[in-house]
Chain A
Amino acid sequence: DTGVSQDPRHKITKRGQNVTFRCDPISEHNRLYWYRQTLGQGPEFLTYFQNEAQLEKSRLLSDRFSAERPKGSFSTLEIQRTEQGDSAMYLCASSRTGVNGEKLFFGSGTQLSVL
Chain B
Amino acid sequence: AQSVAQPEDQVNVAEGNPLTVKCTYSVSGNPYLFWYVQYPNRGLQFLLKYITGDNLVKGSYGFEAEFNKSQTSFHLKKPSALVSDSALYFCAVRPPGYNKLIFGAGTRLAVHP
Contact = CB atoms under 8 A, between A and B. Distances in A.
A43 B100 contact: no
Interface stretch (B11-19, B42-50, B76-84): B42-50
B41 interface: yes
B99 A55 contact: yes
Given A31-B99, A33-B100, A48-B99, A105 B46 contact: yes
Contacts of A101: 32, 34, 49, 51, 94
B51 A40 contact: no
Contacts, number: 56
Contacts of B4: 42
A62 B105 CA distance: 22
Interface stretch (A11-19, A70-78, A106-114): A106-114
B37 to A, nearest CB: 11
Contact of A106 (B45, B99, B106): B45
Given A41-B105, A42-B105, A103 B100 contact: no
Interface of A: 4, 31, 33, 40-45, 48, 50, 55-56, 91, 93, 100-109
Interface of B: 4, 32, 34, 36, 41-46, 49, 51, 90, 92, 94, 99-106
